[in-house]
Amino acid sequence: MKIYLINAAPTIISKDNKKETLFQTSAPPLGLMYLASALKNAGHAVFIVDQPAFNLTNEEVIEFIKKKDPDVVGFSTLCASFENVKEISKELKKWNPNLSIIVGNYLATFYAHNILTKYDWVDICVRGEGEKTAPEILNRLESNKDLSEVEGISYRSNGKIIENKDRPLIKDLDSISFPDRKLLPAFYKNRIGGVDITKRKFATMVSSRGCPYSCNFCACTAFSKGLWRTRSVDNIIDEISMLSDEGYREILFIDDNFTLNQKRINEFCIKIRKQNLDIVFIGDGRVNNGSVELFKTLKKANFEILMFGIESSSQRVLDSYNKKITPEMSRTAVNNARKAGFKFLVGTFMIGAYDETYQEAIDTLKFISSLDIDFPHIIFTRALPGTQIFNELIKKKIIDEEQFWETGVDIIDLPGSKMNREVIFKIIKDQFHLKFFRPKYIMKAFTRTLISKYRREIIFNHLNLRDINKFVKIINNPPDLF
Ligand code: B12
Report, as an integer, the average pLDDT of 110-124. Answer: 98
pLDDT tens-digit readout, 206-237: 999 999 999 999 999 999 999 999 999 999 99
> If pLDDT is split at 50, 70 and 90, which confidence band does 459 have?
confident
Q: What are the beta bridge partners of residue 306?
A: 283, 345
Return d(Cα 148, Cα 14) in angstroms, integer: 43
Average pLDDT over the chain, rounded to an integer: 93
What per-residue confidence (pLDDT) applies to 462? Answer: 77
pLDDT of residue 193 exceeding 80: no
Top pLDDT among 27 and 401 is at 401
pLDDT at residue 34 tops 90: yes
Mean pLDDT of 329-342: 98
Residue 257 CA to chain centroid, in angstroms?
A: 12
pLDDT in tens, 143-155: 999 999 999 999 9
Residue 351 pairs in a beta bridge with 380
Largest CA distance in the chain: 69
| pLDDT above 60 for 434 | yes
Determine the pLDDT at residue 466. Answer: 79
177: region left, alpha or beta (phi > 0 left; psi from -120 to 50 alpha): beta
Reference 417, options 429, 399, 391, 431; nearest CA is 399
Is ligand 1 within 6 A of the CB of residue 129? yes
**Is residue 4's pLDDT more than 50?**
yes
288: closest CA among 213, 225, 223, 343?
Answer: 213
CATH 3.40.50.280 holds for 2-163: yes
pLDDT at 482 over 50: no
CA neighbours closer than 13 Å in the CB half-sphere of residue 387: 26
Mean pLDDT, residues 323-341 taken together? 98
Q: What is the CB-side half-sphere exposure of residue 237 using CA atoms within 13 A? A: 17
Q: Exposed, middle or buried by CB within 10 Å (0-12, 13-18, 19+), for 90?
A: middle
DSSP reduced 3-state for 294 = helix
Determine the residue of 47, 106, 122, 220 to mutate for testing ligand 1's pocket, defined as the one with the most ligand atoms within 8 A of the Cβ atom: 106
d(CA 412, CA 480): 15
The least confident of 89-98, 142-151, 444-453 is 444-453
Mean pLDDT of 191-220: 90
Lowest mean pLDDT among 107-111, 114-118, 155-159, 354-358: 155-159
CA 77 to ligand 1 centroid distance, Å: 8
The finding on whether 210 has its CB within 6 A of some atom of ligand 1 is no
pLDDT for 430: 77
Q: What is the sign, positive or negative, of the torsion defined by CA atoms of 260, 263, 266, 269?
A: negative
CATH tag, 189-481: 3.80.30.20
pLDDT (average), residues 411-418: 96
In this predicted structure, the answer to whether residue 62 has a pLDDT above a threshold of 50 is: yes
Q: How many A from CA of 440 to the centre of ligand 1?
A: 37
Does pLDDT of 479 surpass 70?
no
Of all protein residues, the one whose alpha carbon is nearest to atom 10 of ligand 1 is 27
Residue 199 CA to residue 461 CA, distance in Å, equals 7
Nearest C-alpha to atom 85 of ligand 1 is from which residue? 219
Which DSSP letter does residue 203 get?
E
Element housing 134 (H / E): helix 133-142
With 70 as the cut, is the pLDDT of residue 477 above it? no
Q: Is 20 a residue whose pLDDT tops 60? A: yes
Q: Do domains 2-163 and 189-481 have the same CATH topology?
A: no
Spatial separation of the C-alpha atoms in residues 9 and 16, rounded to whole Å: 20
Residue nearest to atom 8 of ligand 1 (CA): 29
Tell whether the model's pLDDT for residue 84 goes beyond 50.
yes
* Distance between first and last Cα of the chain: 42
> Which residues 6+ apart lie within 8 Å of 391 measured at CB?
none
Per-residue pLDDT, averaged over 12-16, amounts to: 67
pLDDT at 27 over 60: yes
Q: Which helix (H) or strand (E) holds 349?
A: strand 344-351
Ligand 1, atom 4, lies closest to the CA of: 27
403 vs 408: CA distance, rounded Å: 9
How would DSSP label each residue in 401-422? HHHHTTT-EEGGGSTT-SS-HH
Each domain of the chain, given as residue ranges in start order, spans 2-163, 189-481
With CA atoms as reference, report the closest residue to 375 among 332, 346, 411: 346
Cα separation, 219 vs 390, in Å, equals 10
Could you give the C-alpha distances from 162 to 16, 144, 150, in angstroms and in order?
Answer: 40, 17, 11
Q: Per-residue pLDDT averaged across 109-128, rounded?
A: 98
